[in-house]
A = this chain, B = another copy of it.
């Protein structure tokens, strides 16, 4: 490991009133140039006057309970759907909130709201006439008359969300007893006026604050809780637009778009509009409508901050719906910086490429007694230094590829007191960060001549991420692929099916389409467009490589289930091929592509279409990794992908194979547990250890092979 170097800058420290000496001591030790507050902490004058730049956290739509109570109709809302109830006679009584957490919701049975309620006969999938049902506000239930016996009915209704979700989560998880915070919907003109005035006053009252750190803007992701502790998190979609709705929004939408949305557009048979599913045209319209509002009012607030001579950063993790940083309108808001909390490499890349001046990563662990899963962190039994190393390992390899300007921590600084090894390690980590940043400042890292495009229904809008953190989306192959890609020395784009038709494949060597059938990641209905299939087919025939994982291009209704089966040479049987023979094959591995390290999942319904695809790996009689020649190009199929150092290395080698580039490349290590980047301007190799054991890497360079030894979790910068 590199020796300790005295350095300062690019580091944001969470200060804590009452622990002024600790704050300033660690600020010195870690080389902080910024001190921030955290949720529930305050900065004292001693800290504010210590010569550091100051960030202050603002959750603009929360912390206004007094005003909210006087204007309850301005609370944020959501469409909910009752449990389905089977009619056993011709009347049915359906309680609305039975399945929902009572402290989170309050039925909105107002005159403005009722026209948006819907009752459905789910057996027929048809709406029930309004004359046949009636809401009972006392019972909070709906009574349906003229029901068809044995049919199932649901009620879709509007509810106010009376407890802001982040506050609710923290309160319940930590058994806090503080007042439940509410959240205002700035869609209402009076809320806008109130919040604008409030922010203006706040800026005036906080002259020491240099940066207003918005967390984030207006609308939270959907986090709908259940009444039963056996199923508390009924619905959690970190990118959904469910929480943006209200009668006012629906009215304005109809005025602008010329057509009306219904409750069903939101509750969607009880599925809601899951981000993992391709968006409908109506959902896209609604997202555009909401984004326009968020950008418009967001800009007003940011402008106000600027007028006070402060900068405006946004913490991209809580109420960020409608301000997606890869959305078309994000730049209009005018943020000076974006702060992203990161567990993983793909989150670092997500942050690094956002069009703002300053990119900051809030590292983990959060300074809190327990971690997200409830395991001990800063309390007996915890090992926060090891946690920090493991998270940094994931993030660091991505930072080798794309720089950010800043890192930082969050939480309660005093908790670090019993953990000196943690405090020491953060010092080392900050040094590594500054070393990597300095390399980037000299010039970009060397990239192999491979441009890989990840193809899915969302395209650029959901670059790098799916809809949340790794552990929330780890059942999807694509998040594993994105994570692997985040540290590889290749160029990566995220493209949509529209992009394909618009010529996005022009300079691309490999397209990855990875996911389960029907999902946004596989593409679902997008594959019904023959122009998409034509263009991809032409592109592969002319030399491109289409890499399909799990159920790529899957769509029922064709003569093949995978619409790219003709390129892949494999398909999946949906049961209609029950009487069809299966091709016998020999496994012919490719040297340097050891698929046995990748843990490819067995897929029982996979078959070779015409027997011409080469099987490179199998699981007891079922192919798991195949390559099919198609014109000058290739169709490559993997049953699954799970991120591990060996799998990331496999993916790199697969991309070299896909692009017809030899495996022997400069600045690639011979060890999956030791990755490297080369910075030509600095003539320096940066080598990172992806494991808790010492690693040796041999790296081919124009001057010959270079050997680098790296300590466990370590980092080496070596001038060539």
Contact = CB atoms under 8 A, between A and B. Distances in A.
Interface stretch (A56-64, A122-130, A181-189, A426-434): A122-130
Contacts of A237: 579
Interface string A549-587: 000000001110000001000000011111111111100
A575 B150 contact: no
A124 B530 contact: yes
A475, A517, A575, A631 — which one has the most chain B CB atoms within 10 A of its CB? A575
B579 A272 contact: yes
A579 B518 contact: no
Given A235-B580, A578-B519, A580-B234, A610 B125 contact: no
B578 A274 contact: yes
A611 B230 contact: yes
Interface in A220-246: 222, 226, 228, 230-237, 240
Interface stretch (A80-88, A248-256, A410-418): A80-88
A624 to B, nearest CB: 17
B88 A631 contact: yes
A605 to B, nearest CB: 9
A36 interface: no
Contacts of A537: 86, 150
Contact of A230 (B269, B270, B578, B585): B585
B576 A86 contact: no
A275 interface: yes
A260 B644 CA distance: 58
Contacts of A86: 537, 541, 566
B566 A233 contact: no
B575 A240 contact: no
A151 to B, nearest CB: 7
A533 interface: yes
A583 B226 CA distance: 10
Interface in A82-98: 83-84, 86, 88
A666 B720 CA distance: 87
A84 B611 contact: no
Nearest to A586: B230
Contacts of A154: 559
Nearest to A275: B579
Interface residues of A, number: 69
A233 B578 CA distance: 12
A271 interface: yes
Contacts of A538: 149-150
Q: A125, A231, A519 — which one has the most chain B CB atoms within 10 A of its CB?
A: A231
Contacts of A150: 533-535, 537-538, 541
Contact of A581 (B226, B268, B467, B631): B226
A277 interface: yes
A396 interface: no
Given A270-B559, A518-B575, A576-B518, A123 B534 contact: yes
A228 B271 CA distance: 47
A88 B150 CA distance: 55
A611 B579 contact: no
Interface in A31-89: 83-84, 86, 88
A391 B541 CA distance: 53
Contacts of A236: 579, 581
A276 interface: yes
A517 B575 contact: yes
Given A530-B151, A533-B150, A537-B150, A228 B611 contact: yes
A152 interface: yes
A211 interface: no
Contact of A559 (B122, B541, B582): B122
Contacts of A475: 578
A558 B231 contact: no
Interface string A148-159: 111110100000
Interface in A300-329: none
A516 interface: yes
A202 to B, nearest CB: 35
Nearest to A234: B581
Interface in A254-283: 268-272, 274-277
Given A150-B541, A269-B559, A275-B579, 8 more contacts: A84-B566, A86-B566, A149-B538, A152-B559, A232-B581, A268-B576, A518-B574, A518-B575
8 contacts: A84-B566, A86-B537, A122-B559, A125-B557, A151-B530, A152-B566, A274-B579, A275-B579
